[in-house]
Amino acid sequence: MLVPYESLLSLVTGIFRDRGLPTERAAIAAAALCHGDLTGVTSHGTVNLTRLYLPLLDRGRIDPEADMHVRTDLGACVLADARRALGLWSASQAMELACARASRYGIGMVSLHGATHIGCAGHHAARAVAHGMIGLIASNCGGQRIAPPPGGTTPMLGTNPLALACPAGDAHPFLLDMSTTVVPTGRVRAAARAGRAIPPGWLAAEDGSPVTDATAFDRGEARLLWLGGEPETGAYKGFGLGLLVEILAALVPGAALGAVSSDGDSDDDIGVMALAIAPELLRTGFSEDATALFDAVRGWPAWDPGAPVAYPGWHEGERAARFRDHGVPIPAAIFEELRAASARVAG
Amino acid sequence: MLVPYESLLSLVTGIFRDRGLPTERAAIAAAALCHGDLTGVTSHGTVNLTRLYLPLLDRGRIDPEADMHVRTDLGACVLADARRALGLWSASQAMELACARASRYGIGMVSLHGATHIGCAGHHAARAVAHGMIGLIASNCGGQRIAPPPGGTTPMLGTNPLALACPAGDAHPFLLDMSTTVVPTGRVRAAARAGRAIPPGWLAAEDGSPVTDATAFDRGEARLLWLGGEPETGAYKGFGLGLLVEILAALVPGAALGAVSSDGDSDDDIGVMALAIAPELLRTGFSEDATALFDAVRGWPAWDPGAPVAYPGWHEGERAARFRDHGVPIPAAIFEELRAASARVAG
């Protein structure tokens, strides 16, 4: 079904507010969660409300009212304890603070430990674009272990997402939002729920042979591959990028680390890096050059004239514009879940 | 043959000095070039001296004496024109300046345009480790076009390397040094020179079928793939990472951009980002946590007890230690080239 964007936002905002989040915070978190549905990244949208965020709130593992506690402030750099606040909100707060610092120093970094699941990393990174800035978000998965290192028998790290947003003039912003594994677990589980086979190259069996049955992952019969796939096609780069995120997002602030975790199932104490760069403070002509770059990508000679070349974020921007005008596609079962969650608290 | 490391450094330093580089600068550039041979990344070592750097110096496209010209200085951030200085030197200079700024602000960024080829990005990133810092280097390839975007008919961007170095206590530092394509062109050309076939997944023909003949690349009969390979296994992530580097390294400072280049063969006006983070200024316990993280990776349960799990930089660190003690393997033909280059100028 198609749900008007403002109705969806307001429904989710109400659910978060009823669970104890202050109103403004609830609205920011709702926008972060609905970003998934709005851009077509449905694995990270409202489907996660009843599966991920509400149980964490109900069990007290997320504190709806906690404020960030700044531990070190060096001006261009802030290290803070997110104190188990809802990550959907605190990652956006971290990015806004990074932008404020970048507006004075050219660059700003906010490094969080004690965070909870942030949803789509790209949503938070994209906040920088509203300030004419470049935004980068890296987040680990706390102590959670999902993918094994190349040559290793057991999972070590999470899917460790990395996102970069950059203004593109009047066009949709550049927005890369990627797990450092071939795909995030959400896409494997969505295929498993739908009974769809997955392409070779996402999962592998112990002996390295491709697994196309998505349900094998949660049965522990297949490992999720790092970007690059096998060692000869770049698995060490994907694993290296996973560690890059672990270092920047979690080792820097002192958050939980997958490799030294005492509980490989827990995604408590997540680490987040929010970095903003203010290019217009550094030089003139940035905006014109960004427009020229992304226009050139869009106009690049394509094999199929019906499938023009695109940069990350372009298709998501098109979808968001369409869904804002005509309604956001939400499966009827998910919409019922949202209504039930809303009614339960209100009742 | 095995060449003592100090002899190799001194030979290359002499060649650069004889081409007009000040002595200290020549030594820094020589260390950057020999880093390739010292760590086993031979595609980026002394093999490039007569093929890449000396011709650029001889044609005046590299200025051996140019000093960096600072255009904007915001304290934590510096934007500078590298003025065609030898990239092997200026990338190291940029990283040292970034570290100096990070020692005051917690983070430091130096953004260069007008740079020339920097060699192994990882060598420059690793300079941060000597200061107890995390170093990141991103570099585009100027206006040079090497790999086409997914769905595009002609090359758009360079192989756009990205490197991150991080202290690991007493162990070899973490050092990820990667092109954002599956492999850099140097590895394809090394296979072509040696007459070796390459694995499927590096090159593809127009119709997407794998090409294992390395010589097809320079004949223009095969395209280099982005990390991730094909679209269903993450090609858009690899291409997105290539654009991430293009944005951070070149769009920020206003260097040449592959997609809007007027000469897709030229690697003049390269952009470089050097970023340093000083974690010990942000919190206590960083060094202990880094030791614990990288020890845990090294001790991870492995399928093959003879092939322990490693992090990027570990094997390179082992090789460098061995080669410093016992000599650096240099093919006799390359050593002859170095001797001839040295004699020609001295004579």
Q: Best interface-test mutation with B: which of A275, A293, A316 has the largest number of B CBs within 10 A?
A: A293
Question: Tokens 């970003």 identify what position?
Answer: A35
Average pLDDT estimate for A62-81: 98
A26-51 tens-digit pLDDT: 999 999 999 999 999 888 899 999 99
pLDDT at A346: 52
- Chain B interface mutation, best of A72, A81, A101, A107, highest count of B Cβ atoms under 10 Å: A107
Beta-bridged to residue A272, according to DSSP, are A112, A139
Is residue A151 one of the residues assigned to a domain? yes
Answer whether residue B210 is part of any domain: no
* Cβ distance of A259 and B296 shorter than 8 Å: yes
CB contact under 8 A, A236 and B312: yes
How many other CB atoms sit within 10 Å of the CB of residue A61? 13
For A185-210, letters b (16+ CB in 10 Å) and e give bbbbbbbbeeeeebeebbbbeeeeeb
Look at A5-14, A218-227, A258-267, B247-256 and tell me which has the smallest mean pLDDT.
A258-267
Residue B18 tokens read as 């004889």
Is A306 within a domain? Answer: no
Residue B72 scores a pLDDT above 90 = yes
Contact flag A302-B153 (C-beta cutoff 8 Å): yes
Name the residue range of residue A247's domain: 2-182+225-282
Give chain A's mean pLDDT: 96
Q: Which of B 209-228 lie inside 8 A of A, CB atoms?
A: 227-228
Residue A344 predicted with pLDDT over 90: no
Residue from A198, A120, A189, A181 nearest A147 by CA: A181
| pLDDT tens digits for range B266-277 | 889 999 999 999
pLDDT band (50, 70, 90) for residue A207: confident
Nearest to residue B57, comparing CAs of B26, B27, B24? B26
Per-residue confidence band for A345, with pLDDT thresholds at 50, 70 and 90: low
CB spacing of A297 vs B199 below 8 angstroms: no
Give contacts of B237 with chain A, Cβ < 8 Å: 176, 178, 227
* Option in B71, B174, B283 nearest A283 (CB): B71
Q: Is residue B208 part of a domain?
A: no
Q: Indicate the average pLDDT of chain B.
A: 96
- Tell me: the pLDDT tens digits for B315-345? 999 999 999 999 999 999 999 999 999 987 5
Cross-chain Cβ contact B105/A75 below 8 Å: yes
pLDDT in the model for residue B345: 57
A-chain residues within 8 Å CB-CB of B111? 282
Per-residue pLDDT tens digits for A290-306: 999 999 999 999 999 99
pLDDT tens-place string over residues B96-121: 999 999 999 999 999 999 999 999 99
Residue B42 has what pLDDT? 86
CA distances B189 to A62, B36, B140, B278, Å, are: 53, 16, 19, 38
B335 contacts chain A (CB < 8 A): no
Mutate to test the interface with B, among A230, A244, A315 (most CBs of B within 10 A): A244
Residue B326 in domain: no
- Beta-carbon separation of A251 and B292 below 8 A: no
Q: Does A122 touch chain B (CB under 8 A)?
A: no
Q: Give the tens place of pLDDT for each residue, A76-132.
A: 999 999 999 999 999 999 999 999 999 999 999 999 999 999 999 999 999 999 999
Q: How many domains does chain A have?
A: 1
Query: Which conformational region is residue A213 in: left (phi greater than 0), alpha (psi within -120 to 50 degrees), or beta?
Result: beta
With CA atoms as reference, the chain A residue closest to B255 would be: A289
Q: Is A293 on the interface with B (CB under 8 A)?
A: yes
For every residue of chain A, which 3-state class applies, written as one string?
CEECHHHHHHHHHHHHHHCCCCHHHHHHHHHHHHHHHHHCCHHHCCHHHHHHHHHHHHCCCCCCCCCCEEEEECCCEEEEECCCCCHHHHHHHHHHHHHHHHHHHCEEEEEEEEECCCCCHHHHHHHHHHHCCEEEEEECCCCCCCECCCCECCCCECCCCEEEEECECECCCEEEEECCECCCHHHHHHHHHHCCECCCCCEECCCCCEECECHHHHCCCCEECECCCCHHHCHHHHHHHHHHHHHHHHHCCCCCCHHHCCCCCCCCCEEEEEEEECHHHHCCCHHHHHHHHHHHHHCCCECCCCCCCCCCCHHHHHHHHHHHHHCEECCHHHHHHHHHHHHHHHC
Grade residue B135 by pLDDT with cuts at 50, 70 and 90. very high
Using a CB-CB cut-off of 8 Å, the residues of chain A touching B233 are: 182, 199, 201-202, 229
Are the beta carbons of B166 and A251 closer than 8 angstroms?
Answer: yes
A254/B311 Cβ within 8 A: no
Binary contact (B302, A152; C-beta < 8 A): yes
In tens, the pLDDT along B198-234 reads 999 999 998 889 999 999 999 999 999 999 999 999 9
Say what percent of chain A tops pLDDT 90: 93
- In a domain, residue B214? The reply is no
Name the burial class of residue A213, with classes exposed (0-12), middle (13-18) and buried (19+) by CB atoms within 10 angstroms of its CB: middle
Measured between alpha carbons, how far is B336 from B16 in angstroms, rounded to an integer? Answer: 16
Distance CA A301, CA A303 (A): 7
Sequence-separated (6 or more) residues with CB below 8 Å from residue A29: A12, A13, A16, A21, A86, A88, A89
- Which 63-92 residues of chain A touch chain B by CB within 8 A? 71-72, 74-77, 79
Is the pLDDT higher at A85 or at A346?
A: A85
pLDDT at A43: 85
**Residue A248 belongs to domain with CATH number:** 3.30.1370.60
Nearest-by-Cβ selection for B79 from A152, A156, A282? A282
Instruction: Render B195-216 in DSSP notation, one character per residue.
Output: T-B--TTSEE-TTS-EE-BGGG
Are B152 and A236 in contact (CB < 8 Å)?
no
Q: Report the amino acid identity of residue A213.
A: D
Q: CA dihedral defined by A211, A212, A213, A218, rounded to 10 degrees?
A: 60
Closest Cα to residue A228, out of B182, B36, B40, B304? B182
Residues of B in contact with A76 (CB under 8 A): 75-76, 105-107
Q: How confident is the model at residue A186 (pLDDT cuts 50, 70, 90)?
A: confident
B212 inside domain: no
pLDDT, residue A247, reads 98
Nearest Cα to Cα of residue B222 among B233, B234, B214, B232: B214
> pLDDT grade, residue B347 (50/70/90)?
very low
pTM of the model: 0.97
> Residues 6-65, chain B: which have Cβ within 8 Å of A?
none
Interface touch B106/A109, C-beta < 8 Å = yes
Cα B34 from Cα B32, distance rounded (Å): 6
Closest C-alpha among A255, A256, A225 to residue A242: A225
For residue A35, give how far its alpha carbon lies from the nearest alpha carbon of chain B (Å). 20
Enter the tokens of residue B11. 């030979």
Query: Residue A154: closest CA among chain B residues belongs to which residue?
Result: B301
The shortest C-alpha distance from B178 to chain A (Å) reads: 7
- Taking an 8 Å cut-off on Cβ atoms, the answer to whether B311 and A176 are in contact is no
Q: Which of residues 138-177 of A touch B (CB under 8 A)?
A: 149-154, 156, 164, 166, 174, 176
- Asked if the model's pLDDT at residue A147 lies above 60, the reply is yes
Residues of B in contact with A301 (CB under 8 A): 152-154
| Contacting residues of A for B312, CB less than 8 Å apart | 236, 239-240, 243
* Cα(B156)–Cα(B154) distance, integer angstroms: 6
Residue of A nearest to B202 (CA): A233
Q: Is residue A137 in a domain?
A: yes
Minimum-distance CB partner of B292 among A76, A260, A292: A260
